[in-house]
């Protein structure tokens, strides 16, 4: 069944701001609140000596992990004192299966980084005593990139310091119309959702993320990526490609099987699994770009997922958050933040277990055909 359209938690029918049509047809998505929160992507100048709290927490967890963790600096954002973009890995380097956890692609969406760091911290503390986790790491590689855009976090902007929205920065163009501005624009870096100059190389943060995915995930027999975001809707959603077109991806059957085992194992979950194109289309999606690259390589199964935490519910419970850039995208009340961190860890843990056991559930032959047909009915409203 198609999900009902979700409106802004404050105004039922906003009078201002662009509204893009959803891929499901008929319904409309209001982006006025997000546009207002992003402002004109003008940075807020941080006080002298201000650090990124999430970066400090990540470095604390890295220190706790010590030699158990493989840590690399994938990029350093220019400026004082310089902001490293870390990747952290653990588990067998030559494993057939791998999972990548990503966060902080948008500098305003700090809760995504916090969820990924919380999961890494949990694993580090369990490594000392959890024999099951130790066994999983013998067959599965886990990779973390919790803060892809530390420069945006420091400047309190969605974009990176160059004014580019990293999730609109890949060389992928939607063949059909996209929502004005929201779907990606090349008008000005002073406006949100700026894609960068035509023909320019990807931004260094985008390139660093792609490098980690190609080094650690692509080419394995099975791999998953989970990229944690916030800011859309009243429900938590797990999106999969495509974002740039409405047609289904080649591994639709495998995604349906993954959704099925998650639903069977978590009967009371509150996630909406769907292709992003059911909500809106965009240019420049990094995960579309990486998925297409992996498919062109022809080896293994790569399933990129995006956790889109529904921040409008936080605004509904605390309307004052609407007047804060961070309040649109993050829970500002401590107990609500803790609940969010606790609530999503089972999903992250599930992805690692699913990857480790991929041979047990990945459909083949007739089962794959059945899952494909079921997925077409569920998400695309038609038989194959």
Residue 288 maps to which CATH number? 3.40.630.10
* Token output for 201: 């190389």
| More confident site: 28 or 352 | 352
Domain that holds residue 274: 19-42+62-245+264-351
| More confident site: 346 or 233 | 346
Q: Any idea which of 41-55, 137-151, 234-248, 358-372 has the lowest mean pLDDT?
A: 41-55
Q: What is the pLDDT of residue 47?
A: 45
Taking residue 242's Cβ as centre, other Cβ atoms within 10 Å add up to 23
Q: Answer yes or no: is 325 within a domain.
A: yes
Q: Answer yes or no: is 344 within a domain.
A: yes
DSSP secondary structure string for all residues of 278-301: GT---S--HHHHHHHHHHHH--SE
As a whole number of angstroms, the distance between CA 7 and CA 28 comes to 8
Q: Answer yes or no: is 377 within a domain.
A: no
Q: Answer yes or no: is 372 within a domain.
A: no
Q: What is the pLDDT of residue 384?
A: 59
Q: Answer yes or no: is 192 within a domain.
A: yes
Q: What is the pLDDT of residue 329?
A: 62
As a whole number of angstroms, the distance between CA 227 and CA 303 comes to 11
DSSP secondary structure string for all residues of 2-17: PPPP---SS-SS-SSS
> Does an H or E element contain 45, and which?
none
As a whole number of angstroms, the distance between CA 237 and CA 230 comes to 10
Q: Answer yes or no: is 68 within a domain.
A: yes
* Token output for 2: 């198609």
Q: Could you give the 3-state DSSP secondary structure of residue 369?
A: helix
CA 68 vs. chain centroid, Å, equals: 26
As a whole number of angstroms, the distance between CA 257 and CA 248 comes to 15
**Total tally of structural domains belonging to the chain:** 1
As a whole number of angstroms, the distance between CA 373 and CA 48 comes to 57
Q: Answer yes or no: is 380 within a domain.
A: no
Q: Which of 326, 341, 319 is nearest to 158 (CA)?
A: 326
Check whether 130 has a pLDDT greater than 90.
Answer: yes
State the pTM of this model. 0.86
Q: Answer yes or no: is 26 within a domain.
A: yes
């Amino acid at each position: 069944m198609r999900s009902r359209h979700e409106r802004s938690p404050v105004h039922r029918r906003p009078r201002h701001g662009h509204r893009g049509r959803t891929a499901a047809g008929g319904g409309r998505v209001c982006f006025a609140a997000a546009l207002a929160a992003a402002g004109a992507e003008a940075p807020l100048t941080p006080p002298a000596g201000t650090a990124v709290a999430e970066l400090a927490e990540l470095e604390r967890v890295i220190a706790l992990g010590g030699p158990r963790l493989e840590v690399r600096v994938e990029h350093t954002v220019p400026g004082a004192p310089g902001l490293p973009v870390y990747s952290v890995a653990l588990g067998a380097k030559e494993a057939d299966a791998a999972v990548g956890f990503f966060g902080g692609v948008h500098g305003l969406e700090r809760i995504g980084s916090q969820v990924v760091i919380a999961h890494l911290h949990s694993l580090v503390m369990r490594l000392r005593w959890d024999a099951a986790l130790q066994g999983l790491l013998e067959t599965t590689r886990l990779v973390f990139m919790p803060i892809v855009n530390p420069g945006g976090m420091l400047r309190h902007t969605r974009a990176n310091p160059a004014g580019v929205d990293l999730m609109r920065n890949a060389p992928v163009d939607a063949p059909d119309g996209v929502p004005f501005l929201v779907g990606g624009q090349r008008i000005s870096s002073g406006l949100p959702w700026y894609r960068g100059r035509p023909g320019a190389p990807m931004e260094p943060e985008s390139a660093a993320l792609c490098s980690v995915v190609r080094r650690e995930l692509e080419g394995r027999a099975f791999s998953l990526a989970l990229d944690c975001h916030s800011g859309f809707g009243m429900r938590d959603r797990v999106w999969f490609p495509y974002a740039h077109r409405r047609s289904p991806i080649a591994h639709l059957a495998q995604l349906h099987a993954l959704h099925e085992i998650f639903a069977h194992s978590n009967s009371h979950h509150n996630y909406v699994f769907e292709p992003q194109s059911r909500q809106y289309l965009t240019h420049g999606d990094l995960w579309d770009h990486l998925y297409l690259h992996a498919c062109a390589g022809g080896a293994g199964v790569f399933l990129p997922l995006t956790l889109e935490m529904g921040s409008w519910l936080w605004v509904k419970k605390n309307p004052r958050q609407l007047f804060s850039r961070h309040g649109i995208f993050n829970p500002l009340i401590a107990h609500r933040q803790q609940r969010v961190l606790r609530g999503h860890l089972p999903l992250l843990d599930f992805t690692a277990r699913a990857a480790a056991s991929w041979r047990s559930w990945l459909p083949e032959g007739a089962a794959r055909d059945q899952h494909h047909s079921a997925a077409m009915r569920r998400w695309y409203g038609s038989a194959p």
